[in-house]
């Protein structure tokens, strides 16, 4: 898979611009150079923020919600027209399969624009008639928050960037976005589409770069930003929170997870098995919702472990364009080193390695990529580091459990609280348990099934605030109450 772009540039005030240093964009499939990427220094980030500030007062600032929405639909149309270019860009940067890029990443990127354009047009505001005899009418209006800084990760690059960008624009804001240094390509293509759709100059600005002491830090520390929306690691979220504290900027954070899947003996066995395969190994486990902790009711534990082992060993691990490929590489050699360090740690912590535990050797150019074996462990104590720290790789630990309250306590005993999946044929149990899980998202007999109007986010170290539907509209709006004495 080749992409055409050889130098990826910033997009500021409606123009592509290169300045300063560059860094390399390396393929995780075979280690080849995909592109060189411009790295924004503080002055470049400053120019982007100033362009966004100016654009708030330009034609964008006087357009109606319907006009904004119409332009966002044009962006979606433009993405559809260049669909395969987006697929190629995402596949090249991440090594994921063509099939996943087509059905998840790019399809969702388009859906994000259409959904938030339509939601903004139909959003309601509050109205309260006084009930205490004070003869007053209170109503709320929405205003744009201003200039929004978006800092996004590499694991679902276009999906997660547009999940923030679309509602921010639908609410009338202007934006400076910094995609992950690992995945700069689809965001650069998006800048072309946004320009060609006729969104006024300065409304969307893109700066490339790294995090600390680079574009990410310069953006989060910039005084001209009104809010920061961030998806990434919990410790990066904490750094950004400190950076914005003095300026009292509002933040929306979607952070890490150590998610659990719970399988009861009364579940549809094959559906649960297929579900746990997906939730543990989709995109090589590099989705924040993936389950690294699997708890299986003791009566079916041995059968489940052996069936998951068999399925895992049958996975097709290959190039992204091979039909039927199940898993590709990790995002980078650096991330592979991190995942492999947990593979070694698990053995030191006493794990039984059911399958996997190392790298893959192909005897071809993939050996210069970042592939690892999908891995299953059993036998770790609940407080093992491999069961408490996010690994973000194709790995899960399976533990037996005996009853509901015990497994709830074990799952909830975590610093994270993003998502969990419960597999059971007992509907009453499903409702009862779902409400007791300390997470923001519970799936029952499914995993990562999305309705974009629903609240999305985590508790504890997994996030702050909720995205999705009206929750996104609320974050990207300044809500003003107007009280009229009648």
Instruction: Determine, following the binding rule CB under 6 A, whether residue 177 of this chain makes contact with ligand 6OD.
Output: no
Instruction: Determine, following the binding rule CB under 6 A, whether residue 419 of this chain makes contact with ligand 6OD.
Output: no
57 token code pair: 């007062």
Burial of 216 (0-12, 13-18, 19+ CB in 10 A): buried
| Best CA proximity match to 85, nearest among 142, 4, 161, 21 | 4
Q: Which residues are catalytic?
A: 254, 288
Q: Tell me how far, at minimum, the Cβ of 478 lies from ligand 6OD, in Å.
A: 23
Residue 163 binding: pick among ligand 6OD, ligand NAD, none (C-beta 5-8 Å cut-off by kind): ligand 6OD
Q: Which one of residues 29, 101, 255, 289 is an interface residue with ligand 6OD (CB under 6 A)?
A: 289
Residue 48 or 165: the one with the smaller Cβ distance to ligand 6OD is 165
Task: Mention every residue, 6+ apart, whose C-beta is less than 8 A from residue 38.
Answer: 7, 8, 9, 10, 17, 18, 19, 20, 21, 22, 208
Instruction: Determine, following the binding rule CB under 6 A, whether residue 180 of this chain makes contact with ligand 6OD.
Output: no
Instruction: Determine, following the binding rule CB under 6 A, whether residue 168 of this chain makes contact with ligand 6OD.
Output: no
Q: Which one of residues 8, 288, 327, 473 is an interface residue with ligand 6OD (CB under 6 A)?
A: 288
Residue 214 or 462: the one with the smaller Cβ distance to ligand 6OD is 462
| Best CA proximity match to 95, nearest among 251, 327, 289 | 327
Total interface residues for ligand 6OD by CB under 6 A: 9
Q: Which one of residues 456, 462, 465, 469 is an interface residue with ligand 6OD (CB under 6 A)?
A: 456
Q: Tell me how far, at minimum, the Cβ of 305 lies from ligand 6OD, in Å.
A: 26
CB 206 within 8 A of CB 149: no
Distance CA 167, CA 120 (A): 8
Distance CA 237, CA 248 (A): 15
Distance CA 71, CA 271 (A): 41
Dihedral sign for Cα 298, 303, 306, 310, please.
negative
CB 370 within 8 A of CB 333: yes
Q: Tell me how far, at minimum, the Cβ of 140 lies from ligand NAD, in Å.
A: 28
Q: Tell me how far, at minimum, the Cβ of 352 lies from ligand 6OD, in Å.
A: 29
**At 12, is the secondary structure helix, strand, or coil?**
strand
Instruction: Determine, following the binding rule CB under 6 A, whether residue 421 of this chain makes contact with ligand 6OD.
Output: no
Instruction: Determine, following the binding rule CB under 6 A, whether residue 152 of this chain makes contact with ligand 6OD.
Output: no
Q: Tell me how far, at minimum, the Cβ of 230 lies from ligand 6OD, in Å.
A: 12
In 349-393, where does DSSP find H-type helix? Answer: 385-388
47 token code pair: 């120019």
Instruction: Determine, following the binding rule CB under 6 A, whether residue 156 of this chain makes contact with ligand 6OD.
Output: yes
User: Which parts of this chain interact with ligand NAD (CB under 6 A)?
Assistant: 151-155, 160, 178, 180-181, 210-212, 216-217, 220, 231-233, 236, 239-240, 254-257, 288, 390, 392, 418, 458, 462-463
Distance CA 283, CA 326 (A): 8
Q: Tell me how far, at minimum, the Cβ of 253 lies from ligand 6OD, in Å.
A: 12
Residues near ligand 6OD, by CB under 6 A: 155-156, 160, 163, 287-289, 450, 456
């Amino acid at each position: 898979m080749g992409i055409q772009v050889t130098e990826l540039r910033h997009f500021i005030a409606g123009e592509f611009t290169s300045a300063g240093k560059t860094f390399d964009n390396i393929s995780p499939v075979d280690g080849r150079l995909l592109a060189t990427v411009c790295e924004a220094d503080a002055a470049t980030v400053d120019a982007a923020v100033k362009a966004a500030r100016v654009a708030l007062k330009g034609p964008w600032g006087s357009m109606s919600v319907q006009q904004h929405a119409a332009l966002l639909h044009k962006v979606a149309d433009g993405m559809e027209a260049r669909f395969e270019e987006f697929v190629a860009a995402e596949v090249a940067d991440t090594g994921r399969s063509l099939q996943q890029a087509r059905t998840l990443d790019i399809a969702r990127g388009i859906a994000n624009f259409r959904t938030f354009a339509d939601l903004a047009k139909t959003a309601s505001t509050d109205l309260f008639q006084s009930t205490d005899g004070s003869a007053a009418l209170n109503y709320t209006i929405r205003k744009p928050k201003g200039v929004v800084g978006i800092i996004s990760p590499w694991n679902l690059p276009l999906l997660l960037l547009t999940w923030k960008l679309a509602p921010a624009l639908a609410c009338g804001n202007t934006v400076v976005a910094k995609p992950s240094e690992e995945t700069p390509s689809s965001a650069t293509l998006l800048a072309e589409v946004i320009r060609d759709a006729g969104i006024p100059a300065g409304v969307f600005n893109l700066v490339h770069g790294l995090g600390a002491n680079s574009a990410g830090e310069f953006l989060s520390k910039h005084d001209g930003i009104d809010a920061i929306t961030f998806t990434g690691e919990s410790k990066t979220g904490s750094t950004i929170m400190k950076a914005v504290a003095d300026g009292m900027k509002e933040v929306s954070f979607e952070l890490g997870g150590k998610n659990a899947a719970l399988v009861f003996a009364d579940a549809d066995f094959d559906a649960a098995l297929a579900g746990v395969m997906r939730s543990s190994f989709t995109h090589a486990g590099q989705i924040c919702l993936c389950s690294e902790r699997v708890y299986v009711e003791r009566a079916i534990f041995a059968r489940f472990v052996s069936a998951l082992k068999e399925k895992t060993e049958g996975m097709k691990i290959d190039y992204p364009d091979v039909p039927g490929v199940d898993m590709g590489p990790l995002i980078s050699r650096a991330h592979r080193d991190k995942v492999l360090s947990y593979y070694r740690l698990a053995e030191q912590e006493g794990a039984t390695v059911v399958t996997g535990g190392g790298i893959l050797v192909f005897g071809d150019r993939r050996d210069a990529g970042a592939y690892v074996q999908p891995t299953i462990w059993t036998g770790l104590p609940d407080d093992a580091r491999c069961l408490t720290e996010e690994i973000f790789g194709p790995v899960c630990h399976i533990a037996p459990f005996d009853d509901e309250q015990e497994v709830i306590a074990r799952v909830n005993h975590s610093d994270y609280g993003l998502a969990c999946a419960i597999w059971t044929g007992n509907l009453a149990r499903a409702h009862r348990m779902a409400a007791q899980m300390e997470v923001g998202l519970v799936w029952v007999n499914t995993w990562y099934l999305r309705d974009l109007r629903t609240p999305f986010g985590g508790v504890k170290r997994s996030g702050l605030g909720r995205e999705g539907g009206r929750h996104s509209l609320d974050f990207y709006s300044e809500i003003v109450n107007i009280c009229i004495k009648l």
